[in-house]
Amino acid sequence: MKRINVTQSSLPSYEKYIEKIRSLWDTKFLTNMGVFHMELEKKLIEYLKTPYISLYSNGHIALEYALESLERKGEVITTPFTFVSTTHAIVRTGNIPIFCDIKESDYTIDETKIESLITDKTIAILPVHVYGNVCNVEEIEKIAQKHNLKVVYDAAHAFGVKYKGKGIATYGDISMFSFHATKVFHTGEGGALTYNNIALKQKFEVLKNFGIISQEEVSYVGGNAKLDEFRAAMGLCNLEIADEEISKRKAVFERYEENLKGIKGIKLNLRQPEVVQNYAYFPVLFDNYKLTRDQVFILLKENEIYARKYFYPLTSSFKAYSNLFEMQETLVALKITDNILCLPMYANLEISDVDRICDIIKEGESKI
Ligand SMILES: *Cc1c(COP(=O)(O)O)cnc(C)c1O
């Protein structure tokens, strides 16, 4: 039986990439903000419609640098329905995560529950555009302004997403994008911060390169999180095919929708108004369906189809945090995490396989 994973990395043609990196054998300049790095920055500024960008060796470390740039430590309001990286970044930078519940409609932070979590220790809000679904950016902005808080978005899932005609990167103080191999656009490993404040540019650039200002001057205790030329070259090749890949994903997404819409107990991802999606994931909520989420997961696995329980369990339940801080109760997130399943979703997923996956889900019988 053919194995189908939840995702499969997009790649440019082999020849295209080899041709791209050929010049590295002439210049022998492999990292430290080389020509590919600079070109990728420029092209991403255009693509994401953001004023400023800094590239990183991965999205997680970029998020840590974003939080470090706030220059204050305290409580950060976030959600537990995310990849563990979001919560880790808060804790590893010496902050305390305060878990806010999510909305049943689109799984993003419930903005109506943020204010009651704000204390005199709160420094920032860190919402997640989960599955590429757009948070209520306007309301979050209002709350942040009223309480003088920074907003850092985990936009790891939201590459290319637009809201009201603007790139998602333009909302909030800073957004983090992941260019991991499993994401819509990737550099193998890689990531970026986007922001509107030019004052952050030098700081971000210097911090990811050991805090070095010049050969004999080190002004910050920085680290090393630079994106090298091989990865930047992969990014340049992948950016050329990004729109094509997203439109192929769209076809897969729509086929799933056709197959699964209107079935009792199956809730598909909301189509948000005024949002241009990137079709990064295909989450399905099994809510009183004839099969539970776990039964569907096993049934697909028996057919060599590897769906993923994104995101299960909630990050707030991880052992790594036990005894570190107080946990908030997030009842909606708890319900979603127990019932949601991400079906295989990638540009080259064959339509006949989408149909097969849906048939298995529809024809499956509960064995209990
Ligand atoms: C992928 C991901 C990250 C981390 O990005 P990396 O590039 O893998 O370090 C952070 N948050 C979310 C929600 C992600 O999906």
**Strand, helix or coil at 265?**
coil
How far is the C-alpha of 247 from the C-alpha of 225, rounded, in Å? 32
Q: Are 128 and 178 in contact (CB under 8 A)?
A: no
Residue nearest to atom 13 of ligand 1 (CA): 83
Query: How many A from CA of 363 to the centre of ligand 1?
Result: 34
Nearest CA to ligand 1 atom 10: 85
Q: List, for residues 292-343, the tens digit of each pLDDT value.
A: 999 999 999 999 999 999 999 999 999 999 999 999 999 999 999 999 999 9
Mean pLDDT of 213-220: 94
d(CA 329, CA 273): 30
Residue 289 pLDDT more than 70? yes
Which ligand 1 atom is the nearest neighbour of the CA of 190? 7
Residue 345 Cα to ligand 1 midpoint, Å, equals 17
Rounded to 10°, the helix 351-363/293-302 angle is: 130
Strand partners, 153: 175
Q: What does the mean pLDDT of the chain come to?
A: 97
Write the CB contacts of 86 (distance below 8 Å, at least 6 apart in sequence): 63, 78, 79, 126, 128, 154, 315
The answer to whether 108 and 135 have CB atoms below 8 angstroms apart is: yes
Tens of pLDDT, residues 99-154: 999 999 999 999 999 999 999 999 999 999 999 999 999 999 999 999 999 999 99
- Given this structure, which CATH class describes domain 14-237? alpha beta
* Nearest Cα to Cα of residue 183 among 49, 62, 3: 62
Q: What is the CATH number assigned to the segment(s) 242-363? A: 3.90.1150.10
What is the bridge-based pairing of β-strands 122-126 and 150-154? parallel
First-last CA distance in the chain: 26
Distance between CA atoms of residues 82 and 89, nearest Å: 12
- In three-state secondary structure terms, 264 is coil
Closest residue to atom 7 of ligand 1, CA basis:
59
Residue 82 in contact with ligand 1 by CB distance below 6 A: yes
Which ligand 1 atom sits nearest the alpha carbon of residue 179?
7
Q: Which atom of ligand 1 is nearest to the CA of 89?
A: 10
C-alpha–C-alpha distance, residues 86 and 63, integer Å: 8
- The pLDDT, as a whole number, for residue 245 is 97
pLDDT number for residue 365: 83
Indicate whether residue 86 lines ligand 1 (CB < 6 A): yes
Domain ranges of the chain: 14-237, 242-363
pLDDT digits (tens, 9 = 90+) for 147-204: 999 999 999 999 999 999 999 999 999 999 999 999 999 999 999 999 999 999 999 9
Rounded to the nearest angstrom, the distance between the alpha carbon of 188 and the centre of ligand 1 is 12
Which position has the token pair 């107080």? 326
For the whole model, what pTM was predicted? 0.97
Q: Note whether 62 and 176 are within 8 A (CB).
A: yes
Ligand 1, from 83, 311, 345: best to mutate by most atoms within 8 Å of Cβ?
Answer: 83
